[in-house]
Amino acid sequence: EEVLKEAQELGYAESDPSADVDGLDAARKMAILATLGFSMNIDLDDVRATGITEISKEDLDFSKKLGYTMKLIGIASRTGEKVEVSVQPTLLAESHPLASVNDEYNAVYVYGEAVGETMFYGPGAGSLPTATAVVSDLVGVMKNMRLGVNGRSAVAPQYKKNLKNSSEIYSKYFVRLHVKDEVGVFANITAIFSEYGVSFEKILQLPLKDQEMAEIVLVTHLASQQNFEQILQQLQDYNKVQVIKSTYRVEGEGVL
């Protein structure tokens, strides 16, 4: 609440901040970018969007300890003829170009088959940057009016919409659990992941003070979204798991 109030006072968040903190503003941008980038008619409803309201300080602390930084990331990815478009809090390796984008700055990171890595970076909030963008658009409209080209043509999407299903979306994942601190519990948790062919890249296990509980933090290797969701369901059903505190997508290599 305190940080959000400061962001509103600085003009970085709207008076109604729901579009910012719920990821809706980013989702709109991803629908536009994916439509342009993939020449495919991507609608807002096609974007799986999760905001930042559930992020805790503990999540940020563990992210840093593992060599990651937390960012709200819009992802548009194409593999063959299928695409994935989403917005979600994501753990980025500190070496990732987007990890250094802070404050009111925005960036668009593009990886292309021919060009490799490119990134477009600049201020994305505040009165003057917003006004600059609006005036730039108006100048573009006036130029097209002078040239007589407004409304003379339309570009239809080249490809039919073809979205990936959950079995075709792969990522690494961060998982934070509170479990009973008993012999064999971690082995059983490992067995649940192994059942779906998912292994661990990083593991932290810490006792919780004044409780017979332990906190387990995991970063997996690549797993399909479908398998990961089934793993989470099994963890919720396991009576030695008190609570799944948080889960996030992970991009890049951290430390440990």
pLDDT tens digits along 1-50: 888 899 888 877 888 889 989 999 999 999 999 999 999 999 999 999 99
Pick the catalytic residue from 29, 65, 161, 245.
29
- Note the pTM of the prediction, 2 decimals: 0.88
* Domains of the chain, earliest start first: 2-123 (3.30.360.10), 170-251 (3.30.70.260)
Q: How many beta carbons lie within 10 A of that of residue 191, not counting itself?
A: 10
Judge whether 64 counts as a catalytic residue: no
For 168, residues 6+ apart whose C-beta sits below 8 A from its C-beta are 79, 82, 84, 224
pLDDT tens digits along 189-238: 999 999 999 999 999 999 988 778 999 999 999 999 999 999 999 999 99
Mean pLDDT, residues 166-186:
96
Instruction: With cut-offs at 50, 70 and 90, classify the pLDDT of residue 152.
Output: confident
